[in-house]
Amino acid sequence: MELRICHLYPDVLNLYGDRGNVLTMKKRLEWRGIGCTVTELPIGERQPLSKFDLLFVGGGQDFEQGLLLDDLRSGKGEDIKAAVADGLTFLCICGGYQLMGRYYETHTGEKFSFLGALDLYTVGAAERMIGNFAFETEFGTVVGFENHSGRTYLGEGVRPLGKVIRGCGNNGADGTEGARYLNCFCTYSHGPVLPKNPGLCDGILLSALSRKYGCAALEPLGDMSEREAHDSVLRSITGPGE
Ligand code: GLN
């Protein structure tokens, strides 16, 4: 078995070590004897996305998101939208998450028309939402770091990736965090998120492996350091009693 990962816009979207998510997915596949190739797709390059099994998009500030608009209009935006609709597995972080939605209105009033691959939109505010946070998902409790001005609101048919335990998540108001639509996983969690949340990582890998090979389960790994890292961040967020 082998997964072909495409890292979209590594040249502009890579905040707080988001690239570490790609390394983690590759390692967790290799530890199980599953092959993995990583192809970087920067601004100005276009390839048929159907040749990949998993796409990764990292985070970026408003400025970097603005830089991508022309490149998305060159046809790549339509490729991404079609790949999501086709059930390709995606992991999108923060700025990359916002990009999958319909639009982003910055706190200075600029309006970016984004992909509309997922029915969601984002509106910025002057006060940023910053800090370590935790949320509950079907893959267990996820911990990470958020830093965004944008408040994201989900439309019909898009479910949240999780429910906020501590922190702000999508918008600081409705208790939701991230988004899930078909095999597209989105979160505000930087860090990078996957090394200390192995359950989430395996859930994402499994969605790609089951789409490609009908694979129903992954061989468990020891995950001692991963669990320690996860638990120590969780304790620092919720305190020793929880
Ligand atoms: N530009 C976005 C915001 O501030 C995304 C930031 C990020 O990717 N950390 O809302």
Catalytic residue among 36, 94, 184, 201, which? 94
CA of 1 relative to ligand 1 center, distance in Å:
35
Architecture of domain 2-238: 3-Layer(aba) Sandwich (3.40)
Pick the more confident residue, 201 or 14. 201
- Mean pLDDT on 160-168: 98
CB of 187 within 6 A of ligand 1: the answer is no
94 among known catalytic residues: yes
- Mean pLDDT on 170-197: 97
Determine the pLDDT at residue 69: 93
- Mean pLDDT on 151-155: 98
Percent of the chain at pLDDT > 90 equals 94
Q: How far apart are CA 83 and CA 63, in angstroms?
A: 25
Determine the pLDDT at residue 241: 58
Q: How far apart are CA 70 and CA 59, in angstroms?
A: 18
pTM across the whole model: 0.97
Percent of the chain at pLDDT > 70 equals 99
Q: Which of 53, 52, 58 is nearest to 10 (CA)?
A: 58
Q: How far apart are CA 239 and CA 242, in angstroms?
A: 6
Domain boundaries, the chain: 2-238
Catalytic residue among 168, 190, 201, 230, which? 190
CA of 3 relative to ligand 1 center, distance in Å:
29
7 among known catalytic residues: no
Q: What does the pLDDT look like over 30-44, one tens digit per residue?
A: 999 999 999 999 999
242 — pLDDT class (breaks 50, 70, 90): low
CB of 24 within 6 A of ligand 1: the answer is no
Q: How many Cβ atoms are within 10 Å of 37's Cβ, its own excluded?
A: 12
